[in-house]
Amino acid sequence: MTELNVGASLAALSAPLLISGFERVGLGWRAAIYVCVAYFACMWLSFRRVAVPMPAQHNLPAQTRKTPLPRLFWMYAVVLFLIGAMEWSIVYWSADFLERAIGFERTLAAALTTFFFVAMLIGRIIGSRLTRRYHNTTLLAAAMYLAIGGFLLLWLAPLPLLNVIGLFMAGLGTANLFPQGVSLALGIASAQVDAANARIGLSVSLAVLLAPQLLGNLADQIGIQSAYGAVLLFQTAALALISIANRAVQRQLSA
């Protein structure tokens, strides 16, 4: 999961670079779309003969597939909702925060948000190596502590340079929250992976839909500086649930 998300981070980082690059050389931003078309064509040529095996759960009895998902899975699903809310609130509103609360010029503030995506890419590359040495529960908790520390620096630091460093740290921590959380959730519901994956997708999609809108409404009422504190609430709630769920996983492993 972590290595898959390295690819996702590369795509997220390359999109604005392709768009701005083609626009700068006079080909127009739409040229980036043609790169995607060419990419998918290359994928089809390279992998069209690769057989995709069916998941093992398709061979399970129907009764097993209809069994309710474990309670511990749902705890991690809520954690993933909070992770999605935290991540996308930062992604959507960091440029506005850097401009309105910190005082950066608008164009520079937008450019500085790239540090978050670069940090996520670096963090996921590092995380893909660490997963070979440490358990997912350890990495998930450590990543959340790093994300909280980075966000506090971004939100409360008195110097603009420290705010940007905090944004980078928040990206490093956030990078491994989703892949580690998904790995744990799917491992717990390994006999019902399709159903579990669908619920995770719904959970994260709801977070992406609701959290940035909530933060934007709060910013209209109390200002972006105060409203940005909602991210810390998401993080704190997620950390509390992670601690409870991780202890349950450790008890299962030691039983």
Q: What is the mean pLDDT of residues 229-246?
A: 96
DSSP-derived secondary structure letter, 56? G
- For the chain, the average pLDDT equals 89
Residue 82, both tokens: 């909070």
Residue 61 predicted with pLDDT over 60: no
CA nearest 33: which of 22, 48, 24, 43? 22
78, 203 contact by CB (below 8 A): yes
Is-contact 82 241, C-beta < 8 A?
yes
End-to-end CA separation in angstroms for the chain: 26
What are the distances in angstroms from CA 4 to CA 118, 176, 190, 212, 230?
Answer: 16, 11, 19, 25, 29
Q: What is the fold of 70-254?
A: Growth Hormone; Chain: A; (1.20.1250)
Compute the average pLDDT of residues 187-191. Answer: 86
Q: At what angle do helices 160-175 and 177-188 cross, to 10 degrees?
A: 20
Residue pLDDT, tens place only, 97-150: 999 999 999 888 888 888 998 899 899 899 888 988 999 999 999 999 999 999
What is the percent of the chain with per-residue pLDDT over 90, rounded to a whole number?
59
pLDDT category at 17 given cuts 50, 70, 90 is confident
Query: Could you give the CA distance from residue 113 to residue 91 in angstroms, rounded to a whole number?
Result: 8
pTM assigned to the model: 0.83
pLDDT band, residue 255 (cuts 50/70/90): low
